[in-house]
Chain A
Amino acid sequence: MKNKLLIVNVCREKLHYFEFVKPIEDIARGMADDGIYFETKSYKNIKQGGIKKFGKIIICGTSLKDFEYLHHIKRFSWIKRYKGSILGICAGMQIICDIYRCKLEKNTDIGQKLISINKNFFGIEGWKEVYELHNYSIKKDRRLGNLFDIFSQGSIDAIKHKKREIYAVMFHPEVRQKDLIRNFVMML
């Protein structure tokens, strides 16, 4: 179970799969020698019972104009009950925060950005160049601080649930920080 990874596709448009899901599949595929296996499912096809066999879940990002997943947030209610580890990427982070009723705010970042990670987050720490692509980010408020540890200084770029193995990043590690994904998958 532990070496089985579920990759969750939240893209509305089929063509966006190649941009936001396939790069993560390619990283996972490269870990086959480490005994890692993966499956990819659309968020529309996930049922609570069906995810028990996966030790880890990555919820991928999607395009700047795609917010369909937020209109179907109930489909992600499994996040609160799932026992394994979850990593949310961009849209995945928005979904995790929405499920825990943290607030999103309008904030556009497109392209390379220098961020500061103040403690080790799956092997990345200190000033790092990352690739961001979002029109909304997570609002820093008391509720967020009560529920999540914040690993970044300034903007909310990396968080972990205080009691659960739920992690999320606002940037796209599949572009400039591929090791973050490998380290998340290998962390058992």
Chain B
Amino acid sequence: MKVGVLFSGGKDSTLALRYALKYTDVKCLISIISKNPESYMFHTPNIKLVGKQAEVIGLPIIIERTKGEKEIELRDLERAIKKAAKLYKIEGIVTGAIESVYQASRIQKICNKLGIECFNPLWQRNQFELLDEILKLKFDVIIAGVFAEGMGGFLGKKIDTDFVSRIRKMHEQYKINPAGEGGEFESLVLDAPFFKKGIRILKSHVKEDKHGGRTLEIDETDLIKKEKNEK
């Protein structure tokens, strides 16, 4: 089946993409760039890097912009999916939804309306298990935004075994969602086994929002050659 993958450049949509590459015929990535930093659906720091990620993955990408107004942004998503269906004849959408019924059901409704399949391969997965899978697959992921108390020290750090053990403790103490699905943190994937090249950050700066959340804004990157990549 020909599919498009909703792609934010973070760990979940990248892992969902890997599943899609294994079981379907991925024709394109679809990204929504929201102007609203508080969007429930699409806000991701460094979303502007998705074009570069698509380049190193070797897939075309459809990028739609939205003002990020609740529910109206769904029309922008629908427009992007329609565009993908027209350009690449996709018959399904793949998402990285894990637990959020809010996000998953809205995408399901759009797909149902358009008469295409919706796939959520990470749905209901144990979130520590997902972090372990990312480590096992050797994804190179950094924390690109921190929005919860106690998370500040993780900004710019890699998701590694140390991160997983610390987030496990924070989950036990403060109920921090280990996958960051509650908006506690956002991630950015710099490399994965199926990337043809890795992305290296050359220059970045930290930006603070009005609620005390901090993001790592990437200013400059280059691409790193790899010996081999997963097909």
Interface residues of A (CB under 8 A from B): 13-16, 18-19, 22-23, 26, 63-66, 108, 110-112, 131, 133, 135, 174-176
A19-B115 contact given A26-B126, A110-B108, A111-B108, CB 8 Å threshold: no
CA distance A133 to B117 in the complex (A): 13
In the complex the two chains form, is A63's CB within 8 Å of B118's CB? yes
A175-B101 contact given A64-B108, A111-B108, A135-B112, CB 8 Å threshold: yes
In the complex the two chains form, is B24's CB within 8 Å of A15's CB? yes
Q: Which residues of the other chain, A, contact B105 by a CB distance below 8 angstroms? A: 110-112, 131, 133
In the complex the two chains form, is A64's CB within 8 Å of B101's CB? no
In the complex the two chains form, is B119's CB within 8 Å of A19's CB? yes
In the complex the two chains form, is B123's CB within 8 Å of A23's CB? yes
CA distance A150 to B111 in the complex (A): 31
In the complex the two chains form, is B119's CB within 8 Å of A16's CB? yes
Chain A: CB-nearest residue to B3: A15
CA distance A181 to B108 in the complex (A): 24
In the complex the two chains form, is A65's CB within 8 Å of B115's CB? yes
In the complex the two chains form, is A18's CB within 8 Å of B117's CB? no
Interface residues of B (CB under 8 A from A): 1, 19-20, 23-24, 92, 94, 101, 105-106, 108-109, 111-112, 115-126
In the complex the two chains form, is B116's CB within 8 Å of A65's CB? yes
Q: Which of B19, B112, B115, B119 contacts A110 (CB 8 A)?
A: B112
CA distance A108 to B225 in the complex (A): 49
Q: Which residues of the other chain, A, contact B24 by a CB distance below 8 angstroms? A: 13, 15
In the complex the two chains form, is A15's CB within 8 Å of B94's CB? yes
**Chain A nearest CB, measured from B40 CB (Å):** 14
Smallest CB-CB A-B distances: 6 pairs: A111-B105, A23-B124, A18-B121, A15-B23, A19-B123, A14-B23
Q: Which residues of the other chain, A, contact B125 by a CB distance below 8 angstroms? A: 18, 22-23, 26
CA distance A131 to B101 in the complex (A): 8
A18-B112 contact given A111-B101, A112-B101, A174-B124, CB 8 Å threshold: no
**Chain A nearest CB, measured from B99 CB (Å):** 9
Identify 10 residue pairs between A and B in the complex whose beta-carbon atoms are under 8 Å apart, listed by A's number. Answer: A15-B19, A15-B23, A18-B121, A19-B119, A19-B124, A22-B125, A23-B124, A26-B125, A133-B105, A133-B108
CA distance A15 to B96 in the complex (A): 13
In the complex the two chains form, is A64's CB within 8 Å of B118's CB? yes
**Chain A nearest CB, measured from B88 CB (Å):** 17
Q: Which of A16, A23, A65 contacts B112 (CB 8 A)?
A: A65
Which residue, of A65, A133, A135, A174, has the highest number of chain B Cβ atoms within 10 A?
A65
Q: Which residues of the other chain, A, contact B112 by a CB distance below 8 angstroms? A: 64-65, 108, 110, 135
Q: Which residues of the other chain, A, contact B109 by a CB distance below 8 angstroms? A: 110-111
**Chain B nearest CB, measured from A86 CB (Å):** 22
CA distance A63 to B124 in the complex (A): 15
Q: Which residues of the other chain, A, contact B111 by a CB distance below 8 angstroms? A: 64-65
In the complex the two chains form, is A63's CB within 8 Å of B117's CB? yes
In the complex the two chains form, is B126's CB within 8 Å of A15's CB? no
Q: Which residues of the other chain, A, contact B124 by a CB distance below 8 angstroms? A: 19, 22-23, 26, 174-175
**Chain A nearest CB, measured from B26 CB (Å):** 11
Q: Which residues of the other chain, B, contact A108 by a CB distance below 8 angstroms? A: 112
**Chain A nearest CB, measured from B85 CB (Å):** 14
Q: Which residues of the other chain, B, contact A19 by a CB distance below 8 angstroms? A: 119-121, 123-124
Q: Which residues of the other chain, A, contact B115 by a CB distance below 8 angstroms? A: 65
CA distance A185 to B67 in the complex (A): 47
Chain A: CB-nearest residue to B108: A110
CA distance A66 to B94 in the complex (A): 16
Which residue, of A13, A23, A66, A112, has the highest number of chain B Cβ atoms within 10 A?
A13
In the complex the two chains form, is A18's CB within 8 Å of B122's CB? yes
Chain B: CB-nearest residue to A63: B117
14 A-B pairs besides A13-B24, A65-B116, A112-B101 with CB distance below 8 A are A13-B117, A15-B119, A16-B119, A18-B121, A18-B123, A19-B124, A23-B124, A63-B117, A65-B112, A65-B117, A66-B117, A110-B105, A135-B112, A175-B101
